[in-house]
Structure formats: C-alpha cells, structure tokens
Amino acid sequence: MATKVIGARKDGVQIVISIAPSINYTPPAKIPIPYPVNYTLSPSENVSPNVSYNENEAFVLGSHTTHVTGDEAGSLGGIISGTVSEKAIAIDSSRSVFVNGRNAIRCDDMFCMNNKNTVGTLNCNPAPVAPDIVDNKIKCESTENEDGSITEECKIDTSNYSLHTSTTSKDGSISSASIN
C-alpha cells in the first residue's frame, strides 16, 4: 500500500517549525541566544498561479514564506545570516511530482529559515486547540453518592470536546475515571 503524502499549500494550517534554534545576537551585549522559529504558509510568495490543493495555491520549490516569527528579541541578527525573522524556503522536495514544472513540496520536507540561519520542517498536523476555559465554557458539577464518594461531571459547551467523569472516594483517592 502506498504512503499518502500531503502536498504543501498556501494556508494557515501548515506550519514550518524549526528543528534547531535560530541563534541570534541579542541586545544589549550582543549575546548569542537560541530562539525557536516558525511560520504558516498562509502569506507565501511565488506559489503556483493555477494549481491548488483544497482551494489553496500549491507551495512549490522556489516558493517561500514572507518571514518567520519567534526570534524578534534577537534583534542584532542571526549568527549566520545576520537577519531577523526573514523568510523560510524549502530545500527538500518531491523528485517525481511537479507543479508548473517545479518540484512539489510535501509535509515533512526540510526548509531553511531566517535566511539560512536555521533549518525546519513543514508540519501539516498542528496540535488541537485546547478548550476555552476563560469564558466559562467548562461547567463542572459534583454529586455526593450514597456510599460517600463524590462524582464530578464536567461538560464543555461545544460538540468538539468530550465529557470527563471521575469518582473520588471519601479518602480522596480516585476510584474511577472515564473520558466519553
């Protein structure tokens, strides 16, 4: 069975993430400090003008992000590039799939970031967003059972998240926990 490969596209979901820090000189004493950098492919340039994946322009060899973020505090520049928050460009690509005559970029392909100050990879499966507990979207209710244990049921005001129920005995130990 063939492995499914996701093509890179100009969107806000796919993110280039550094696998080594961008080491930048940081004021006031020009100290080299490592910074993790990243950026989405959303505002990319030089993408395919007429080929799209899921309605987003294909990101191909020669395409690049407009910049990266994360190393702004190192405002005296990268130790290799001398720049701050500059573009990311793919250095790995498909050798058999082409878009408008240029090699297609895939998830997990390597990128140079901040004008070759560091390297990263394209992540197409970002972590899920945690529920918003600041706006009281999680409601918990405790009930004392006949045996003296307490059952706590927490509900989240969205269908995207699950329900968590736990039962705690009188001595404080959790006797059962479930995620439904």
Euclidean distance between CA atoms 168 and 174, whole angstroms: 4
Quick one: CA dihedral 15, 133, 170, 179, positive or negative?
Answer: negative
pTM, entire model: 0.67
Of the candidates 128, 26, 151, 152, the one whose C-alpha atom is nearest the C-alpha of residue 77 is: 26
Asked whether 113 and 37 are in contact (CB, 8 A), the reply is yes
- State whether the Cα torsion 29-30-34-36 is positive or negative: positive
pLDDT tens digit at each of 180 positions of the chain: 456 678 999 998 899 999 999 999 999 989 999 999 999 999 899 999 999 998 999 999 999 999 999 999 999 999 999 999 999 999 999 999 999 999 999 999 999 999 999 999 999 876 555 554 444 555 666 677 788 776 666 665 555 544 444 555 555 554 444 444
| Per-residue pLDDT, 14 | 92
In three-state form (DSSP H/G/I as H, E/B as E, the rest C), the secondary structure along 36-99 is CCEEECCCCECCCCCCEECCEEECEECEECCCCECCCCCCCCECCCCCCCCCEEECCCCCCCEE
DSSP state of 3: P
Least Cα distance to 69 among 40, 47, 92 occurs for 40
Please report the pLDDT score of residue 1 as a whole number: 44
Distance of CA 167 to the CA centre of its chain: 35
